[in-house]
């Protein structure tokens, strides 16, 4: 017998022994698990507690599975080598014989080929796909074998109780019953519209068997978490299409904002937007095939082998995965490293659109590989897609970069990328916003300070920015010392707190600062006013005692309520609590979180909790505002900080004479970056600024040349009263055209003046929406406009 066959035989017998070992281990694991489950004092909260012995056995089991996988792989190779040899021998022998037929059976590789070729796009798939699929199938067989052994062992089925979120209960079988079956038992329609399940609070594939008693929620597309799963699954479809079309290396598809995108590395070319329709029809073919998503849990070592063709996946495995096993999902020919969960099969995606591509970098780092990013969106029905398309159209029309140019608000120049030039009208909006907040600060007992723009790196070392943030700071040398432009105001405010001894009597100290900040954003990330290098914030820091947190947070919440309702924004509140890597005393965290909860309760608006999502230095309240297009933006910050006072050794003398008390810092910003807020407001209003913020408040139009002098006089009267007033003296334009132009330019009020108005010292008022208020005396018009400006109403044109 040939040496290969001997080796294969040896491998097969080792394999048999290994399988025996696994069988024993598996049985042992379950015996121990049952013992554990029936133990009277088992702790409910942690689910089935596993003894150290089981954990050890599980680890061994994993080890064995890995060995088994390697052995099967060797065996497979040996056997196919053997088959090739035998085939060659047969061919050799048959060469002499007449009418010899080619070998009738297809190789497994050819099967793979056939499966991955969509009907319309016949391309040669990259080699790694075949290899990868073969390994996946081997792993799957092992997995099924283990399940089969378990089932054989457990003759009497393990009955479990499944509580569905609506209150009813269903009986099922452990490791068999799936959430999909649970849904189907209630109604087939429910089963078909459910996107994903939530089992005991954890998102769960609909076809993944339940492992014990469970509470199951069935989430449809209306649910935000289900939407994320739906779009994430659609990203796999796009990934599959990208691999088939470009043969590139898939990198990752981080969750997007309404839709999905995939980053792919294609060495020798770029994705062209002309290819998007091809990708879209590939996606449609994949959807038509209703490819199931199959989940497998595999050891990291095996995965490194499975993804050896892809350096990016290997990086993720080596740098990001710290568990001994992780999951992969197969969908058609695509096998992806992924935590899941997913929809059941690609056929659940009813309509998909691949609409945009751009460049990206691995980990957003321009020093790393350049990647091609392709964007898509998908929906379970046509109506939702139509609504989405309408929204995109609307968002394009409202893009702040376009309107900013049309209204002559601001521009950017290559000679200072990421730093905006605000023209007079833009500067008016900017300053009006700051004045608004300044007035609010004053009402709420914040005092404004001015602090330096550049500091020695010693300050940044003390604050920790040097260690964690230096690559985002602009640094330069002065007198042998390294300096940096401030990316935030907090460390400077700490120096202000520390410059003299502090007593409990003066707490809380609330410092506000509109100082200019600089952050070194990569040039590829700069985008209009939403991502800039130079900006100002309505930044404030409250230094208070632990006991004052509740009251101060209540103040912050009322502050943001008052500002956001003025803008017409609704908002959502989330409390982010202690993360695993927290610093400081746990009692302090508990106390602070209790007070944050109390402030939120008293504030009275609904809020949610994000457990473990706080910063390592303190809990925070996340605020998301919703704009006119239903998009969410995070602008405000309400963040507690226990660490900065310690780093700067900030102390105050407490009521009982303790002079070593650390204050707590609350970082507060309501607008956040003024630049970014202008972009959000501009897009929210679509350029139709409310009167108080409008850089085009009044346009005066004379009916003819004889009234020009009066028109000029009126314009300057209103300007002197503090309004943005202009006059249109263009002789080449008819009166009606002038009115129309002023309306298109979004002048809130248009004053038409003729001889009659001049005689009466009056103006004839109409609005940008062509509401005609008629003749009114100048004094009365000035008073009305002053009141409208002061009230910051969103509806001045109607209320006039």
Residues 6+ apart with CB under 8 A from 771: 797, 798
- State which residue, 425 or 620, has the beta carbon closest to Zn ion: 620
Q: Which of these is catalytic: 142, 207, 538, 539? A: 539
By rule CB under 5 A, what string of x and - marks binding of each residue 576-595 to Zn ion?
A: --------------------
Residues 544-573: x where in contact with Zn ion by CB under 5 A, - otherwise, as a string: ------------------------------
With b meaning 16 or more CB within 10 Å and e meaning fewer, what string describes 602-634?
Answer: ebeeebeeeeeebbebbbbbbbbbebeeebebe
Least gap, CB of 459 to Zn ion (angstroms): 14
The residues, any chain, with a CB within 8 Å of residue 718's CB and separated by 6 or more, are 697, 698, 700, 725, 782, 785
Q: Minimum CB separation from Zn ion for residue 297, in Å?
A: 14
Contacts of 717 (CB under 8 A, 6+ apart): 778, 782
Q: Catalytic annotation on 339?
A: no
Please, which residue, 667 or 789, has the CB nearer to Zn ion? 667
C-alpha dist (Å) from residue 408 to 58, 400, 677, 730? 67, 11, 17, 19
Q: x/- contact string, 776-795, with Zn ion (CB under 5 A)?
A: --------------------
CA 665 from chain centre, in angstroms, equals: 27
Q: What is the CA radius of gyration of the chain?
A: 34
Q: Would residue 537 show up in a list of annotated catalytic residues for this protein?
A: yes
d(CA 284, CA 289): 9
Q: Which residues, at least 6 apart from 287, have a Cβ–Cβ distance to it below 8 Å?
A: 237, 346, 347, 349, 352
Interacting stretch for Zn ion, rule CB under 5 A, among 74-82, 144-152, 618-626, 661-669? 661-669
Residue 338 vs 725, nearer CB to Zn ion: 338
Taking the chain, what is the end-to-end CA distance rounded to the nearest angstrom?
102
Which residue, 338 or 796, has its beta carbon nearer to Zn ion?
338
Q: Is residue 237 close enough to count as binding Zn ion by CB under 5 A?
A: no
Q: C-beta of 555: minimal distance to Zn ion in Å?
A: 16
> What are the angstrom distances between the C-alpha of 717 and each of 714, 746, 766, 787?
5, 21, 18, 17
User: Residues 455, 481: contact at Cβ < 8 Å?
Assistant: no
Residue with tokens 């208020």: 773
| CB of residue 544 to Zn ion, shortest distance in Å | 14
Catalytic entry in 252, 283, 331, 490 = 490
- 8 A C-beta contact, residue 350 and residue 289: no
Q: How far is the CB of 573 from Zn ion (least distance, A)?
A: 19
Complex with Zn ion: residue 346 or 697, whichever CB lies closer: 346
- Shortest Å distance, C-beta 138 to Zn ion: 21
Cα 469 to chain centroid distance, Å, stands at 21
Q: Name the strand (E) or helix (H) holding 740.
A: helix 735-744
How big is the site for Zn ion, counted in residues (CB under 5 A)?
A: 3
Within positions 479 to 538, which residues make up the interface with Zn ion, using CB under 5 A? 490
Query: Tokens at residue 93, please?
Result: 């022998």
Which range in 207-215, 412-420, 662-670, 719-727 contacts Zn ion by CB under 5 A? Answer: 662-670
Q: Which of 66, 400, 465, 667 is catalytic?
A: 667
Which residue out of 66, 398, 493, 519 is catalytically annotated?
Answer: 519
Question: Which residues between 671 and 690 bind Zn ion (CB under 5 A)?
Answer: none
For 566, the token pair is 């003025």
Rounded CA-CA distance 300/296 in Å is 12
Q: Give the nearer residue to Zn ion in terms of CB position, either 650 or 724.
A: 650
Nearer to Zn ion, 543 or 800 (CB): 543
Nearer Cβ to Zn ion (282/490): 490
**331 included as an active-site residue:** no
H or E stretch at 414: none
CB nearer to Zn ion: give 139 or 752: 139
By beta-carbon proximity to Zn ion, the closer residue of 210 and 338 is 338
Q: How far apart are CA 692 and CA 429, in angstroms?
A: 9
Shortest Å distance, C-beta 26 to Zn ion: 28
Q: What are phi and psi of 336, to 5 degrees?
A: -125, 140
Across the beta sheet with 334-337, the strand order is 293-299, 325-331, 334-337
Nearest distance, CB of residue 498 and Zn ion, angstroms: 15
Residue pointed to by tokens 């309400």? 638
Q: Which one of the spans 19-27, 667-675, 681-689, 774-782 is the region binding Zn ion (CB under 5 A)?
A: 667-675
Show the binding pattern over residues 317-346: x = contacts Zn ion (CB under 5 A), - = does not: ---------------------x--------
- Give me the least distance between CB of 441 and Zn ion, in Å please: 15
Nearer to Zn ion, 271 or 338 (CB): 338
Active-site choice (620, 633, 661, 676): 620
Shortest distance, CB of residue 667 to Zn ion, whole angstroms? 3
Identify any residues that bridge with 699 across adjacent strands, giving them in sequence order. Answer: 726, 750
Q: Is 667 one of the binding residues for Zn ion (CB under 5 A)?
A: yes
- What's the CA dihedral at 116, 120, 125, 129 to 10 degrees? -20
How is the beta sheet containing 370-379 ordered, strand by strand?
249-250, 260-265, 370-379, 351-361
667 is catalytic: yes
Please confirm, yes or no, whether 539 is among the known catalytic residues. yes
CA 342 to chain centre: 18
The span from the CA of 732 to the CA of 421, in Å, is 32
Q: Which of 227, 537, 595, 668 is catalytic?
A: 537
Least CB distance to Zn ion at residue 338 (A): 3
- Provide the H-helix boundaries in 697-734: 708-720
Residues of this chain that interact with Zn ion (CB under 5 A) are 338, 490, 667
* Residues that are catalytic: 490, 519, 537, 539, 541, 620, 667
């Amino acid at each position: 017998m040939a040496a290969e066959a001997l080796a294969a035989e040896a491998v097969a017998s080792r394999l048999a022994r290994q399988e025996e070992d696994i069988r024993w281990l598996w049985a042992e694991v379950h015996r121990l698990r049952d013992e554990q489950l029936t133990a009277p004092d088992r702790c409910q909260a942690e689910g089935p507690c596993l003894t150290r012995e089981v954990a050890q056995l599980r680890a061994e089991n994993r080890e064995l599975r890995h060995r088994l996988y390697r052995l099967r792989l060797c065996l497979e190779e040996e056997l196919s080598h053997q088959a090739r040899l035998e085939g060659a021998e047969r061919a050799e022998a048959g060469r002499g014989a007449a009418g010899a037929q080619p070998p009738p059976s297809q190789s497994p590789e050819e099967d793979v080929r056939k499966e991955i070729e969509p009907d319309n796009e016949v391309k040669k798939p990259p080699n790694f796909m075949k290899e990868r699929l073969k390994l996946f199938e081997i792993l799957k067989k092992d997995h099924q074998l283990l399940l089969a052994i378990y089932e054989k062992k457990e003759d009497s089925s393990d009955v479990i109780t499944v509580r569905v979120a609506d209150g009813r209960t269903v009986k099922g079988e452990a490791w068999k019953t799936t959430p999909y079956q649970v849904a189907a038992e209630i109604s087939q329609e429910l089963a078909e519209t459910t996107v994903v399940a939530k089992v005991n609070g954890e998102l769960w594939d609909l076809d993944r068997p339940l492992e014990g008693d469970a509470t199951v929620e069935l989430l449809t597309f209306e649910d935000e978490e289900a939407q994320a799963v739906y779009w994430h699954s659609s990203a796999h479809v796009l990934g599959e299409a990208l691999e088939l079309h470009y043969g590139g290396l898939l990198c990752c598809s981080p969750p997007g904002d309404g839709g999905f995108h995939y980053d792919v590395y294609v060495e020798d070319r770029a994705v062209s937007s002309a290819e998007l329709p091809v990708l879209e029809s590939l996606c449609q073919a994949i959807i038509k095939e209703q490819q199931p998503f199959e989940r497998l849990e595999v050891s990291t070592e095996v995965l490194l082998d499975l993804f050896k063709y892809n350096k990016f996946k290997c990086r993720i495995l080596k740098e990001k995965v710290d568990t001994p096993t992780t999951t992969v999902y197969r969908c058609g020919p695509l096998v992806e490293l992924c935590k899941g969960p997913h929809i059941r099969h690609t056929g659940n995606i009813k309509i998909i659109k691949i609409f945009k591509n751009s460049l990206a970098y691995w980990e957003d780092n321009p020093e790393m590989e350049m990647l091609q990013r392709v964007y898509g969106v998908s929906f379970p029905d046509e109506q939702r897609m139509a609504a989405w398309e309408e929204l995109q159209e609307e968002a394009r029309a409202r893009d702040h970069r376009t309107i900013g140019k049309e209204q002559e608000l601001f521009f950017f120049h290559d000679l200072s990328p990421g730093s905006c030039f605000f023209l007079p009208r833009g500067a008016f909006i900017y300053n009006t916003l700051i004045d608004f907040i300044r007035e609010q600060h004053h009402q709420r007992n914040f005092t404004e300070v001015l602090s330096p723009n550049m500091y020695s790196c010693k300050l940044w070392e003390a604050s920790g920015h040097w260690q964690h943030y230096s690559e985002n700071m602009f640094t330069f040398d002065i007198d042998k010392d390294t300096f940096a432009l401030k990316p935030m105001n907090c460390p400077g405010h700490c120096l202000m707190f520390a410059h003299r001894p502090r007593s409990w009597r003066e707490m809380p100290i609330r410092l506000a600062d509109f100082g200019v900040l600089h952050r070194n954003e990569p040039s590829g990330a700069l985008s209009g006013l939403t991502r800039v290098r130079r900006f100002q914030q309505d930044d404030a820091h409250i230094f208070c005692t632990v006991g004052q947190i509740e009251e101060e947070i209540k103040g912050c919440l009322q502050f943001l309520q008052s500002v956001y309702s003025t803008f017409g924004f609704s908002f959502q509140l989330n409390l982010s609590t202690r993360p695993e890597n927290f610093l400081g005393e746990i009692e302090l965290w508990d106390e602070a979180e209790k007070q944050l909860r109390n402030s939120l309760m008293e504030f009275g608006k609904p809020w949610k909790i994000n457990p473990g999502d706080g910063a390592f230095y303190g809990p925070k309240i996340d605020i998301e505002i919703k704009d006119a297009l239903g998009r969410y933006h995070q602008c405000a910050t309400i963040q507690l900080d226990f660490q900065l006072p310690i780093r700067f050794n900030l102390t105050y003398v407490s009521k009982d004479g303790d002079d070593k008390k650390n204050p707590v810092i609350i970082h507060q910003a309501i607008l956040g970056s003024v630049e970014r807020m202008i972009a959000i407001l501009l897009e929210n209003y679509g350029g139709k600024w409310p009167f108080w913020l409008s850089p085009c408040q009044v346009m005066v139009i004379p009916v003819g040349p004889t009234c020009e002098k009066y028109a000029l006089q009126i314009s300057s009267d209103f300007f002197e009263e503090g309004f943005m007033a202009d006059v249109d003296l263009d002789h080449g334009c008819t009166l009606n055209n002038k009115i129309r132009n002023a309306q298109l330019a979004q002048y809130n009020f248009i004053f038409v003046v003729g001889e009659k108005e001049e005689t009466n010292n009056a103006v004839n008022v109409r609005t940008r929406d062509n509401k005609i208020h008629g003749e009114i005396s100048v004094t009365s018009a000035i008073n009305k406009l002053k009141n409208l400006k002061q009230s910051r109403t969103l509806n001045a044109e109607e209320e006039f």
